[in-house]
Structure 1
Amino acid sequence: MGEYSAVNTIWVLVGAALVFFMQAGFAMVETGFTRAKNAGNIIMKNLMDFCIGTPLYWLVGFGIMFGTSSAFFGNIDLFAVGGYSGAYDSILPDGVPLYAYMIFQTVFCATSATIVSGAMAERTKFSAYCVYSAIISLIIYPISGHWIWGGGWLAQLGFHDFAGSTTVHMVGGVAALVGAIFLGPRIGKYGKDGKPRAIPGHSLTLGALGVFILWFCWFGFNGASTVSMTGDDTIANAGLVFYTTNLCTAVSTLTVMFITWVKYKKPDVSMTLNGSLAGLVAITAGCDTVEPWAAAVIGVIAGFVVVFGIEFIDKVCKIDDPVGAVGVHGMCGFVGTICVGIFSNGYGTKGKGLIYGEFECLGIQTLGAVVVALYVAIAMTIVFFVIKHTMGLRASREEEIKGLDITEHGLVSSYADFMPNVSSVALDDTDADVGEVPVNEAVPVQVAFTPKEKNTVTASDVKLSKIDIVLKQSKFEDLKNALNEIGVTGMTVTQVLGCGVQKGKTEYYRGVEVEMNLLPKVQVEIVVCKVPVKAVIDAAVKALYTGHIGDGKIFVYDVEDVVKVRTGETGCDALQGEDDI
């Protein structure tokens, strides 16, 4: 080993930091594409992937992956002590010290493990998740990694996977597929007729943020895999890697947008976000060895694969994958690896691709992808089988319905500030020191009246009626003006979601028809006593009527009484001359 290179070492360490930050991207994608009641559980799993995988990869994983004892298995080198004797010098990049390369490889290992959590989200026991995540980092990933990146038999054949379409993503995608099969679908995912039901994620905003984070970090994932920034050829190739990575991703995203626009009549946001990830995964194997035009073609291919792949998994195979991990990482990882054998210009590969009239590279790429997929499928089947029949793999029905946040972690909500916090502790009347009242405690209010006030406050004998009006958001101003004209000046207005017996307008989520589409509405609540109910109804109908489905509904209720908290007045007097609620 020669002298260390500051440039190469910094490049590898910056790449390691970017790849580490992909954990945040995966956490946001998986959280956004699942329901709020499991958000904390998703975050915890993504955190544990890295925290469990890091020491285990140091313990034995790195030795298995980069040891040189055989072409199929490295060494059991506890804590990578062989680094002190120079055992890994032959696999270290020029000028890069051992621990810089170890952290770079550690974050790749964690990425592979975290892919699995998305497909198994919302119904996996946390303890079981920790166990199988540990096994992936401990032995599953390092063995196939040795074959490809550790000088193993696939590397010797000339298999080319520059940054991990197979080594990282397909390994995670196949493991996710096996895990989703063992778990079975979420409660309510499929009807009695087997038709899939849409279970929309709670925040596409978080999902989009995760995709942008991953896209950004992928420049480190692919770019830093050159593990060098010295030498004209390497520097030029690094620029190509960045360019093909970005181009393929953009084209894949556009492809998915147009496909969903045609299929579902509107461009699907969730699926288009998956299209970005599909392009990133597909180009990862060959970003250094394909020309820009080929990267664009791979992007188109990845777009078709992810849309129809996710639909095939969901609708035909009846496998519930909440975030599309199998389609994105498994299928696009496989296809991206094969594309090297089709489009490679010969840089870093054993011959050129099929498009240039050569066949050997395609054969090697196909062999490698198939063998690794079979290996992971068999190994993870054993792992999940043992876990299922020992500690158990799936959360109970009650736990799944309540949400894993509360049942697994005691977390009432990951969004506590958006929920009412009502204490179950009753305050004693003698607690006079307001300063001792905890935050968010309800303080009882006592209303005191003088004898004169008690004698003069009487309930009106005028009938009270409550009118609820549910309407389109766009018609609220018209309704408000119409009610003001007839003397109704007080109202309570709420933003709500809802639909009538028509179940709302037909929409699609990730290619599945949403059975009940809750549309944004406005709900106006009014209590009247002096203004006739019929006058309110007539004014509302005149303001809201268009003749189309969705004009709204009006509900009328009898009100027994109204009490004004400040004065204690009741009935029509409590409205103080104004019709309000």
Structure 2
Amino acid sequence: MQATELQYVIDTFFLIFSAVLIIFMAPGFSMLEAGLVRTKNVTAVLTGNVLLYAVCSFVFLLWGYNLMFGGSGFFLNGVEVTGYSAYAFFFFQMAFVSKTVSIMSGGVSERIKIVPFMSFAILMSGFIYPLVGNWIWAGGFLSDVHDLAGSTVIHSVGGWALLAAILVLGARKGKYTKDGKIRPIPASNIPLVTLGGLLLWIGWFGFNGGSAFNISTKDAADLVGLIILNTNTAGLAGAIVATLIVYFQYKKLDITMILNGALGGLVAITAGADVVGLWEPIVIGAIGGALVVYAVPFFDKFKIDDPVGALSVHLVNGIWGTIAVALFADFSLLAQLKGIVVVGLFTFTISLIIFVVIKKAIGLRSDEEHEYEGLDLEECGVEAYPEFVKSKV
């Protein structure tokens, strides 16, 4: 086997392996969200996550991938790939696409209908996400934005769309009292939350590491190693800082906030893990963890009901991570800010319009009675915990 063929094989395997790690984030999101919602809504959340992976991946196969990378027609027609298998490259990119909507799933949980949400998922994976990806990753007019694995392209896009969805949906019944107080709704299954958070953490190594695309030379292997190390470091820093803040504020160790702090650090380093040294991820991740802790009550203050803290983790830290590239590496702050603003305005505006249209056309939110009883029976006909006593809120 010639050296060039060996490199082709190694890099192709690297992409496939990285894609599998990213797909592990699907059960990660599923378990995290299933643990954070009430028991009466667990089946609906799990069903939504499974369908998101299927629907988004299928739409991306049909035309989303071609739209993103300048192909023509359907399937993989017209997209040129060199250095590794075109099929492996598609599989890697396909692993990404459902994550933009998975980010949203937990934030709209416990009151959104599954079928209307899938309607939005088709438009996200077929148009919104491919267009933004084309602008930044495929030589479009925002190609001067450095975003290694999607602090903006994936996390901010999902976050902006989620914000639009929450504004159209409104808060869960009982979350905010008439006198303006916030009613805490505790997680139903902490072991699932922990499992989901750690699965996401592991998946991030494929998410960021695989975005180097090559590992078959010494320099490429060193870069992949640096990216994965920096990714882990930012997650560690986010978890530790979130722990310190909640402990000094409340004298308690809140595992849900610790995990979200870690995820915030991971989101923050996603844009620049390839262009910083070993100490910068500590600062980037630490700020990411702190931002999560303070952003959660900030959104609650404005009655923006996000059951899993996805806005705080993905939107806030998607923005921070994109800015951090310019602060800690040699990239234009103006270019990074331009990317944030353009993507934010486009994604939020188009998502808001789509959700308003869906709401008026087929309905978006479950009715009050079904929300009270839980979405499991109404949406899926199966309860996750049929022997448990249901929450009466």
Q: TM-score if structure 1 supplies the norm length? A: 0.65
Aligned: 1:134 with 2:141: no
Task: Tell me by how many angstroms 1:79 deviates.
Answer: 2.1
Equivalent position of 1:497 in the other structure: none
Amino acid at match of 1:125: K
Task: Tell me by how many angstroms 1:76 deviates.
Answer: 5.1
Task: Tell me by how many angstroms 1:267 deviates.
Answer: 2.1
Which of 363, 366, 381 is the equivalent residue of 2:337? 366
Equivalent position of 2:381 in the other structure: 410
Once residues 48 and 88 of structure 2 are traced to their aligned partners in structure 1, the CA distance between those partners, rounded to angstroms, is: 26
Amino acid at match of 1:255: V
Amino acid at match of 2:296: I
Aligned: 1:384 with 2:335: no
Which of 243, 248, 256 is the equivalent residue of 2:229? 243
* Aligned partner of residue 201 in structure 1, secondary structure: coil
Amino acid at match of 1:380: S
Equivalent position of 2:26 in the other structure: 23
Once residues 10 and 407 of structure 1 are traced to their aligned partners in structure 2, the CA distance between those partners, rounded to angstroms, is: 43
Any gaps of 5 or more consecutive residues in structure 2? Answer: none
Aligned: 1:260 with 2:246: yes
Which of 349, 365, 370 is the equivalent residue of 1:394? 365
Equivalent position of 2:47 in the other structure: 44
TM-superposition CA deviations, 1:129-188 (whole Å, max 9, x none): 111111111111000010011111111xx2110011111111111111111111100000
* Aligned partner of residue 414 in structure 1, secondary structure: coil
Amino acid at match of 2:220: T
TM-superposition CA deviations, 1:270-293 (whole Å, max 9, x none): 111110110111100000011111
Which of 53, 57, 67 is the equivalent residue of 2:56? 53
* Aligned partner of residue 341 in structure 2, secondary structure: helix
Once residues 72 and 345 of structure 2 are traced to their aligned partners in structure 1, the CA distance between those partners, rounded to angstroms, is: 24
Superposed, which structure 2 residues align to 1:71-150 within 5 Å? 77-82=73-78, 88-89=79-80, 92=81, 94-150=82-138
Task: Tell me by how many angstroms 1:95 deviates.
Answer: 2.1
Once residues 191 and 64 of structure 1 are traced to their aligned partners in structure 2, the CA distance between those partners, rounded to angstroms, is: 45
* Aligned partner of residue 137 in structure 1, secondary structure: helix
* Aligned partner of residue 384 in structure 1, secondary structure: helix
Q: From the two aligned structures, give the one with the greater strand fraction.
A: 1
TM-superposition CA deviations, 1:448-473 (whole Å, max 9, x none): xxxxxxxxxxxxxxxxxxxxxxxxxx
Equivalent position of 1:171 in the other structure: 157
Aligned: 1:226 with 2:212: yes
Task: Tell me by how many angstroms 1:419 deviates.
Answer: 4.9
Once residues 271 and 237 of structure 1 are traced to their aligned partners in structure 2, the CA distance between those partners, rounded to angstroms, is: 31
* Aligned partner of residue 79 in structure 1, secondary structure: coil
Once residues 388 and 190 of structure 2 are traced to their aligned partners in structure 1, the CA distance between those partners, rounded to angstroms, is: 20
TM-superposition CA deviations, 1:99-126 (whole Å, max 9, x none): 1111110110111121111110000011
Superposed, which structure 2 residues align to 1:5-24 within 5 Å? 5-24=8-27
Equivalent position of 1:64 in the other structure: 67
Equivalent position of 2:327 in the other structure: 342
Aligned: 1:191 with 2:211: no
Whether contact under 8 Å (2:268, 2:320) holds in the other structure is: yes
TM-superposition CA deviations, 1:352-394 (whole Å, max 9, x none): 15xxxxxxx1111111111111110011011101001110110
Whether contact under 8 Å (2:40, 2:385) holds in the other structure is: no
Amino acid at match of 2:315: G
Task: Identify which of structures 1 and 2 has the higher relative contact order when contacts are C-alpha pairs closer than 8 Å and 6+ apart.
Answer: 2
Once residues 95 and 52 of structure 2 are traced to their aligned partners in structure 1, the CA distance between those partners, rounded to angstroms, is: 10
Which of 333, 336, 343 is the equivalent residue of 2:318? 333
TM-superposition CA deviations, 1:218-266 (whole Å, max 9, x none): 1111111111112222111111101110111001100001111112221
Aligned: 1:273 with 2:269: no
Amino acid at match of 2:28: G
* Aligned partner of residue 75 in structure 2, secondary structure: helix
Once residues 314 and 103 of structure 2 are traced to their aligned partners in structure 1, the CA distance between those partners, rounded to angstroms, is: 8
Amino acid at match of 2:362: M
Equivalent position of 1:288 in the other structure: 274
Whether contact under 8 Å (2:230, 2:281) holds in the other structure is: yes
Once residues 77 and 204 of structure 2 are traced to their aligned partners in structure 1, the CA distance between those partners, rounded to angstroms, is: 31
Once residues 358 and 308 of structure 2 are traced to their aligned partners in structure 1, the CA distance between those partners, rounded to angstroms, is: 23
* Aligned partner of residue 363 in structure 2, secondary structure: coil
Q: From the two aligned structures, give the one with the greater helix fraction.
A: 2
Once residues 187 and 247 of structure 2 are traced to their aligned partners in structure 1, the CA distance between those partners, rounded to angstroms, is: 20
Amino acid at match of 2:384: S
Equivalent position of 1:323 in the other structure: 308
Amino acid at match of 1:77: G
Any gaps of 5 or more consecutive residues in structure 1? Answer: 68-74, 83-87, 345-351, 354-360, 421-581
* Aligned partner of residue 80 in structure 1, secondary structure: coil
Equivalent position of 2:285 in the other structure: 299
Which entry has the higher C-alpha Rg, 1 or 2? 1
Identity %: 41
